[in-house]
């Protein structure tokens, strides 16, 4: 890879990232509002309105995603990585910098998924031990009642 700009590599990607600048912030606000209303047992009308706003923004992001042949979530990863780099560098990143940032996100996400899987396995093991101990205690109590 070279230090080529995103626009020189893929004009559609450049346009989608440009469109995403405002959408991602609006989507995070809409999702926050949706969760807040849902968690506070707000009025059904308010929740429906917040959900409709978030869905509308997701639909707008999906249009750009379809243009690139990606899913809504893949485009969000690209957009967030682009935003972070832009804020950190003070300018738009080139394609190589964006590529490296998305690779870091993928690696971090894979590590988090692996850790979650380990925690799930440990929880299942602890549950099996607890059930075994419960059965053992019940068996011991039954034996003691029979003997006494």
The yes-or-no verdict on residue 1 having pLDDT over 70 is: no
Distance CA 132, CA 136 (A): 6
Q: How do the domains of the chain map onto residue ranges?
A: 6-110
75 within 8 A of 59, measured Cβ to Cβ:
no
Q: pLDDT higher for 67 or 7?
A: 67
31 within 8 A of 54, measured Cβ to Cβ:
yes
What sign does the dihedral 4-9-13-18 (CA atoms) show? positive
76 within 8 A of 57, measured Cβ to Cβ:
no
Percent of the chain scoring above 70 in pLDDT: 97
4 within 8 A of 66, measured Cβ to Cβ:
no
| Entry pTM | 0.65
Report pLDDT digits (tens) over 19-51. Answer: 777 787 788 888 888 778 777 776 777 778 888
Quickly tell me which residue has 């068996």 as its tokens.
139
């Amino acid at each position: 890879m070279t230090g080529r700009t995103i626009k020189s590599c893929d004009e559609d990607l450049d346009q989608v990232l440009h469109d995403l600048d405002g959408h991602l912030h609006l989507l995070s606000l809409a999702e926050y509002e949706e969760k807040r209303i849902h968690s506070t047992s707000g009025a059904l009308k308010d929740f429906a309105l917040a959900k409709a706003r978030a869905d509308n923004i997701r639909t707008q992001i999906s249009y750009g995603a379809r243009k690139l042949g990606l899913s809504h979530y893949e485009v969000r990863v690209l957009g967030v990585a682009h935003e972070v780099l832009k804020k950190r560098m003070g300018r738009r990143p080139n394609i190589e910098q964006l590529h490296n940032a998305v690779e870091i996100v993928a690696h971090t996400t894979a590590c988090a998924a692996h850790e979650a899987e380990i925690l799930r396995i440990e929880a299942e093991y602890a549950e099996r031990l607890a059930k075994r101990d419960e059965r053992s205690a019940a068996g011991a109590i039954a034996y003691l009642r029979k003997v006494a």
